[in-house]
Amino acid sequence: MSTSLNIKKTLKDNTIFIALIVVMLFFQALITATDNGSLFSPSNIKNLINQNAYVVVLATGMLCCILTGGNIDLSVGSIVCLVGAIGGTLIVNLHWNIYVSILVCLVVGILIGAWHGMWIAYIHIPPFIVTLAGMLLWRGVALIILNGLTISPMPPKYLNLFASYIPFNADSASTIYVVTMIIAALCCAVYVIAEVISRNTKVKKGYEVPSMAGFLIKVIVICAVIMLVAHLLGQDQGLPIILVIVGVIVAIYAYYTKNTVSGRYLYALGGNAKAAKLSGVNTDKVMFFAYTNMGFLSAVAALMCVARFNSAAPTAGTNYEMDAISSCFIGGASAYGGTGKVSGAVIGAIFMGVLNNGMSILGIDANWQKAVKGLVLLLAVLFDVVSKKRKGGK
């Protein structure tokens, strides 16, 4: 493959990442010109992470649903509200043990996901209908539990699990900075080793891999981004514990979808359900897993949101499903299923977060913000449709 083709393929494979960088630089230029601060200030980077952690978690689960054939889950926002209501009631009102309460919340999320999965996978009711019903049902149950009231505040012990920073109880700014940079360096080392092993494995199996130049550029850029973010966070309160939780979840699901047989079944189902079934794939089981998993990750997102807002409120989770769906499609997931990466969904979530944050700093009206996000989502899906038509025409 020629150098020009390699460069072209590398650019095409990283379109959304390049777009994210361009958008961030664009907002930074506008914010600087209007003297509204900086998009890259340590406190703002911390806020971006805290504000969008739940979106990344939900987008990761939503991607698994979308891979099965462009299916979505409209109930995730309501599940977040319900699980938050249960968690707040158990911890604050009933004074249950925090860890037992968290376990109950996770089990509730799994059971709700399994409920949806049963109707979708085994009764074969369309996912849109089942999750639309779930959106109404679980929101209603949450309002019944809360009785229209907000439960707050959460105990410090709970907040420390989701809203604290590493290093814990640091006594100086220099300690915070050094520890944060060391953790970032270790993350970079683990990432580089994993990428090298993955590349060598593909080469041995005869799979097509990017050029060495493209591979090195990708690794260097990502490590540079990690170190830059750590540099900024180290100047504030350190590494948010929520970022660690999100990083672990993303790493697990990225590995699962790329390197496991059951993970590849998600792609097989979305690519051609009939062919997958004839090949021996239990398509009903795959679909059941996708929606059960979505319920579990919704519960995780709920626990994170309760800690962030320090409360369980009746309005929690409003429009969260739209943020998750938008992140997946903007991140390159196909509206028809079978195509998409966890890394793309993460970048899509960050992209949406930067749009929200940048427009808020500039003081743009909330109604215009919604219009812009809707247009971005439409353009992302349009890009997917046009790309598929071009491939089909070849």
pLDDT for the residue 377: 80
pLDDT for the residue 237: 87
- pLDDT of 298 > 90? The answer is yes
pLDDT for the residue 101: 96
Rounded Cα distance, 252 and 305, in Å: 21
Which helix (H) or strand (E) is 239 found in, with range? strand 239-240
pLDDT for the residue 6: 59
Rounded Cα distance, 52 and 358, in Å: 13
pLDDT for the residue 20: 85
Least-confidence region, from 66-70, 76-80, 198-202, 227-231: 198-202
pLDDT for the residue 380: 76
- pLDDT of 295 > 50? The answer is yes
Greatest CA separation for the chain: 66
264-282 pLDDT, tens digit each: 999 999 988 899 998 899 9
pLDDT for the residue 1: 47
Rounded Cα distance, 117 and 74, in Å: 13
Rounded Cα distance, 313 and 77, in Å: 12
Instruction: Give me the helices (H) in 235-282, please.
Output: 241-259, 261-271, 273-278
* Average pLDDT of span 253-263: 92
User: What string of DSSP letters covers 4-50?
Assistant: HHHHHHHHHHTHHHHHHHHHHHHHHHHHHHTT---TT-HHHHHHHHH
* Average pLDDT of span 119-139: 96
CA nearest neighbour of 304 among 289, 320, 319: 320
pLDDT for the residue 13: 67
Separation in Å, CA 373 to CA 22, 213, 330, 346, 368: 16, 35, 10, 16, 9
Q: Which two tokens stand for residue 133?
A: 């019903």
69-108 pLDDT, tens digit each: 999 999 999 999 999 999 999 999 999 999 999 999 999 9
CA nearest neighbour of 370 among 348, 352, 385, 345: 352
* Average pLDDT of span 283-298: 96
- pLDDT of 37 > 90? The answer is no
pLDDT for the residue 394: 42
**Burial of 216 per CB tally in 10 Å (0-12, 13-18, 19+):** exposed
Rounded Cα distance, 56 and 346, in Å: 6
- pLDDT of 135 > 70? The answer is yes
* pLDDT level of residue 389 (50, 70, 90 thresholds): low
- pLDDT of 5 > 60? The answer is no
Average pLDDT for the chain = 89
Rounded Cα distance, 267 and 336, in Å: 11
CA nearest neighbour of 301 among 286, 322, 316: 316
Neighbours of 191 (CB within 10 A): 15
Angle separating helix axes 320-330 and 42-67, nearest 10 degrees: 80
- Terminus-to-terminus CA distance in the chain, angstroms? 19
- pLDDT of 217 > 50? The answer is yes
Asked if 307 contacts 245 with a C-beta cutoff of 8 angstroms, the reply is no
Does the bond joining 126 to the residue before it have cis omega, within 30 degrees of 0?
A: no
Rounded Cα distance, 203 and 353, in Å: 36
356-388 pLDDT, tens digit each: 888 988 888 888 888 888 888 888 777 767 766
> pTM score > 0.85 for this model?
yes
Amino acid at 210: P
Residues 6+ apart with CB under 8 A from 309: 316
Residues 6+ apart with CB under 8 A from 273: 69, 283
**Of residues 363 and 170, which shows the higher confidence score?**
363
pLDDT for the residue 94: 94
pLDDT for the residue 4: 57
CA nearest neighbour of 88 among 99, 77, 101, 78: 101
